A and B are shown apart, each in its own frame.
Chain A
Amino acid sequence: MGKKVGIEVSIAAAEAVGLCDVDVVAAYPITPQTHVVEHLSELVASGDLDAEFVPVESEHSAMSVCCGSSAVGARTFTATAAQGLALMAEIVYIASSMRLPMVMFLSNRALSAPLSIWNDHSDTMMVRDSGWIQVFCENGQEVYDAIFHSFRVSEDPKVSLPVMINVDGFNLTHVIEPIEFWDKEMVKAYLPPFRPLSKLHPDKVLSMGAFGMPEIYAEQKQAHDVALTSSTPVILQGWDEMAKLTGRKYSAVETYRAEDAETLIFAMGSICETSTIAVDKMREQGKSVGLVKLRLWRPLPMGDLRKLLAKAKDVVVLDRSIALGAANAPVTSEMRALMYHEPQRPKIHCMIAGIGGRDVTPDDVVKMVNMALSEKDYEYHIYGVRG
């Protein structure tokens, strides 16, 4: 068992990437991702990590380098945020469609304009349909553990897909937390060497990313969808194996005081910890409230979610991004769609909160639950907008 240290989450994440003996890191600086790659470049420069650090001239190139290095069979990592991800977006789709394993640390940040360096989930929602595995983290330990898990899942020949770890910018990236470290033996036992399904090697001539005519495009997309949705067992097994090593057991969906709850708060990321305090407060007031925390956003654990949500009367989704002109916000939208055909379904309320770095306190969560339960319509609300 590794030792427990007080450390900034970004630095811990970089240490984890180093422990995974990554081969290639390509990144372009953007707040609040910088500490991750700064520390990785230190590890490489000091000789502690035998890897290639490619200091590219843009995020578009960062993701392109990652595709190239993964294609030749190198363990590959990058990190970015918001505008960086937007610039990458073209290649983000290509990485997953070409089934190239890699891990991205996404320090979630609002999209411009107005220019905002602060946290929300609009960046990751922009690429939610890109065919990556997307996980969310509630605290620093989860971020640290997710690095090992993500490499393992991404590189598994049954999966061979890139993984995006969502880490709330500043709220999580820049806080100092007690984190239990892994040692090299644990990593060795947990993470096998990268043996890609296919790679560019002159001994075996192949083309990657060729033209796909209309006769093949739909088939390719279905194959990608099947690959993504079939990755769930590997993801779960990765968490099971980790529990044996660390004693920490992760699941695709987790709950807090939700067993008998009539009202469920539904959240992703660091706002979950805030919400547990709100749940405790409301329980003290005798209210039947619980929390559903979704860790695995893609592929969506549909069966688990249907079972959990069907038991509640009301579900209050705390959406951390806004979908302008849409029926509601991204997470609410999916939960409503998921439950639509269920014989027993809750009312699903949409509370858009904490966008562009606006603080959300436990009291705010309580207020949002109360607002949702008393609302007459079921569209969406942007919480806390000053009149």
Chain B
Amino acid sequence: MATKAAKELPKEEFILPGTRSCAACGLMLTYRHSLKALDPGKTIVAVPASCMTVLHGVYPITPVKVICVNNPFAATGAAASGIVAGLKATGKAGYTVVAFAGDGGTYDIGIQSLSGALERGTDFMYVCYDNEGYMNTGTQRSSASPAGAVTTTTPILAKLQHKKDMLRIVEAHRIPYVATASPSFPLDLYDKVRKAKEIKGSRYIEVHAPCPPGWGFPNKDLIKMGKLAADTAVHVLYEIVDGKFRLTSRSLRLAEKGGKKTVADYVKGQTRFKKITEGQIQALQEFTDRRWYEFMERHQNGRS
């Protein structure tokens, strides 16, 4: 059953005050709501070297009340596979193994170990928090960075290529659950993590995690930026359960009631797009529209 109001979310917090993450961190909020859905007493988290490592604290202090193993950048899918295999081999049932990796650790360096884990049908959940760049090392370009974004490795011309369609790649593994989410829609995020927790096999959730220092917008606009991404269909909220596609939350409403905003509305509030040309905005709009119409069509097909 869908959660209807924020007051229905569990009160207990699993991330204590005093983390080392930046103010208004989209990942931090994502992690906070996800842990509420996960039952941390029965959860083991695998984390690559990333913003997540920083969030998890510096030895010997951690602000997070969940057990965690840090693994190298490329290894998240495999490290989680090892935890799953070890638990199974030693007869420990009822645990959820969750990997939390960024877009660099998922789209780029971690794609091989993730694909291996999905192909083997590893019984675990993988959450990719997509902040569209290597934010922990100082905002370098990743294959998840959108076209037109200035990063520290695309400083002059901005990024010339569109974002990789990682979700399609993940979907091609035909795993039982694929979903997208956003910390700006916490109830949708919470419900998806909770649903994924109950499913056996490999589950993948990709969360669009706005990053104020990396994208260049004021801290106060974190939630607004996530909502704008959904309202423009730059980020589309959906889930695919056993191959059956459906739009959810704000994206569902957008499909039913219309009112989609333009990409121009989205890029103007972020300094990373300061060099974007009219032509690039147009290309980004076409890229966004093409995906959006595909999703609407799949949503219709899923219903019929």
Contacts and interface: CB of A to CB of B under 8 A. Distances in A.
Interface stretch (B68-76, B222-230, B247-255): B68-76
B137 interface: no
Contact of A24 (B60, B66, B86, B92): B86
Given A61-B78, A202-B44, A209 B85 contact: no
A107 to B, nearest CB: 21
B90 to A, nearest CB: 5
Contacts of A74: 85-87, 89-90
A56 B87 CA distance: 17
Contact of A208 (B69, B88, B89, B116): B69
B85 A26 contact: yes
Nearest to B82: A68
A207 B44 contact: no
Nearest to B89: A23
11 contacts: A26-B85, A52-B86, A54-B85, A57-B112, A60-B75, A61-B78, A61-B81, A67-B71, A72-B90, A74-B90, A201-B67
B83 A71 contact: yes
B112 A202 contact: no
Interface stretch (A134-142, A210-218, A233-241, A276-284): A210-218
B265 interface: no
Interface of A: 23-24, 26, 50-52, 54-58, 60-62, 64-74, 76, 90-91, 94, 200-202, 204-213, 216
A58 B81 CA distance: 13
A72 B79 CA distance: 11
Contacts of B116: 56-58, 61
Interface in B39-78: 40-44, 46, 53-54, 56-60, 62, 64-72, 74-75, 77-78
A210 B62 contact: yes
A351 to B, nearest CB: 38
B173 interface: no
A69 B112 contact: no
A208 B70 contact: yes
Given A91-B72, A211-B53, A211-B54, A55 B120 contact: yes
B79 A54 contact: no
B86 A23 contact: yes
Contacts of B79: 64-65, 67-68
Interface string B170-210: 00000000000000000000000000000000000000000
Contacts of B66: 202, 205
Contacts of A70: 82, 86
Nearest to A206: B67
Given A61-B112, A91-B72, A216 B85 contact: no
B140 interface: no
A220 B182 CA distance: 39
A200 B67 contact: yes
Nearest to B88: A52
Given A58-B113, A65-B82, A69-B85, A216 B59 contact: yes
B13 interface: no
Contacts of A216: 59-60
Contacts of B41: 202
B165 interface: no
Contact of B78 (A56, A76, A210, A212): A56
Given A61-B112, A205-B66, A210 B83 contact: no
8 A-B pairs with the lowest CB-CB distances in the bound complex, closest first: A68-B82, A69-B86, A57-B116, A61-B78, A74-B86, A209-B70, A64-B78, A65-B82
A58 B70 contact: no
Given A67-B79, A71-B83, A202-B42, 8 more contacts: A54-B82, A54-B85, A64-B113, A65-B85, A67-B82, A68-B69, A208-B70, A213-B58
A24 B72 CA distance: 20
Contacts of B44: 72, 200, 202
A67 B47 CA distance: 13
B95 interface: yes
Contacts of A212: 58-59
A74 B87 CA distance: 7
A71 B86 contact: yes
Contacts of A91: 72, 75
A101 B222 CA distance: 44
Contacts of A56: 78, 81, 116
Contacts of B57: 207, 210-211
A94 B53 CA distance: 15
A57 B119 contact: yes
Contact of B120 (A50, A54, A204): A54
Contacts of A66: 82
Contacts of A23: 85-86, 89-90
Given A52-B88, A207-B56, A207-B57, A94 B81 contact: no
B270 interface: no
Given A54-B81, A54-B120, A71-B82, A94 B72 contact: yes
Contacts of B71: 64, 67-68, 94, 209
Contacts of B56: 207, 210-211
